[in-house]
A and B are shown apart, each in its own frame.
Chain A
């Protein structure tokens, strides 16, 4: 996470947020490659890799699914997000306000902020499994644990959450610096986890590592499950256009290839390494295998691994809390950023107490994308198709409306139907529905805009 998972901090926050980025502020590809590589080597990768094993992915399906899915994600960033970002050079929020109106953007901000808090909560949970390792009284959560595992666990989570919130309230510059220093080292620790685990495996046959047998009552996924997850775990960022905040600074379209660093170093290699850690636990303990990242990493590479889990969780949770605070501040502009970040930190810490967000991370990330990505379809229609189809572009700005009903329905209805369909058709992961929901949103926005604008309702 992400990343899946990880919200992106613009290279120059609070700059040009209500205007086009001027030419002199544009950045070359080098600025983006390092940033994406670091941002997609996060604490949650330690959770996603093991979950693939727990969802019964076979070796061939894992490798092929990751190669194809990550390629599709890179192509989406390169040929959809980057062209839109370069054409507009606005933040997502600024463009949304022109299309949807101020009030609808407020609703989007709330959904965004809340989902950021839950995501940061999962990162706090992951960090707590590392901090808890030296304390035998801390009961590590397992697949079945949705509730806090005890007082000691709760105390560790609250301490980590409080510390992360305190730092986030002071801004994110120090954490961003530590994240940049840590990035190359963290990637090597991920690789080290794999190297140090292989000799301990009782069998190195690929079919004995990725057995294809689900663990902990999870449904089985194969190639399509891995492919869709790899493609859409960052759907909010590429299809949902959240990365416009970053890529609006891109000097040329080739900057859009930079996410490849995050996808292939972070998601491919880190997920495979992390999945090896859990495969070893399964070979050693069978059904009793623990999925908690802290103990697994400590077993493989010792204290350096624990430090890596904490730093990876910290450096991703902090900007997430910060961004959630900004989203909440967008709802109530009179509230100070410090208060908004405190609220976000409290919600995040409360979420971190419940291991369900981490243990069901594949599901949560899928829902996260399904809720936020459809907004990107509305932007794509507005930018590329509106003129050709005779629809007014930037309708809210042109009509002076603060609430575009067509945009609201085109966002909410397909997402709600997608959520229902995941349960009704027993899809193993919500990411199966992300693309249909996104396409449905775009199509519905075209139809509703045409009907409403024909009837004189501009927005």
Chain B
């Protein structure tokens, strides 16, 4: 699980910053950007506890 959660978590971080960057460049609309960021947020908080050291 840890092996998968790390790359998926990093992908979620990418999914947080890439959509607004694409929106800035005019390659993505505002609403899909918001939706992708929300999904990425949920994925991040599901995967982060699986691999991140929190203490």
Contacts and interface: CB of A to CB of B under 8 A. Distances in A.
Interface of A: 176-177, 180-182, 184-185, 188-189, 191-193, 195-196, 198-199, 301-305, 307-308
B23 A196 contact: yes
A181 B24 CA distance: 27
Contacts of A304: 16, 34, 37-38, 40-41
Contacts of B49: 177, 181
B35 interface: yes
Nearest to B34: A302
B11 interface: no
A308 B40 CA distance: 12
A186 to B, nearest CB: 10
A75 B33 CA distance: 39
B55 A177 contact: yes
Given A195-B20, A196-B20, A304-B16, A181 B52 contact: yes
A199 to B, nearest CB: 6
B17 A191 contact: yes
Interface in B1-55: 12-13, 16-17, 19-21, 23-24, 26, 30, 33-35, 37-38, 40-41, 44-45, 48-49, 52-55
A199 B24 contact: yes
A148 to B, nearest CB: 30
A301 B37 contact: yes
Nearest to A199: B24
Contacts of B40: 304
Contacts of A192: 16-17, 19-20, 37
Contact of A184 (B13, B38, B53): B13
B54 A302 contact: no
Nearest to B39: A304
Contacts of A189: 16, 37, 41
A180 B30 contact: no
A218 to B, nearest CB: 29
B24 A195 contact: yes
A359 B21 CA distance: 31
B52 A196 contact: no
B16 A185 contact: yes
A382 to B, nearest CB: 34
Contacts of B16: 185, 188-189, 192, 304
A110 to B, nearest CB: 31
B38 A303 contact: yes
A392 B17 CA distance: 56
Given A196-B20, A196-B30, 15 more contacts: A181-B49, A185-B16, A185-B48, A188-B16, A189-B41, A192-B16, A192-B17, A192-B19, A193-B20, A195-B17, A301-B37, A302-B37, A302-B38, A303-B34, A304-B41
20 contacts: A177-B54, A177-B55, A181-B48, A185-B16, A185-B41, A188-B13, A189-B37, A192-B19, A193-B20, A195-B17, A195-B20, A196-B20, A196-B23, A301-B33, A302-B35, A303-B38, A303-B41, A304-B38, A305-B37, A307-B41
A260 to B, nearest CB: 22
A287 B1 CA distance: 52
Contacts of B20: 191-193, 195-196, 301
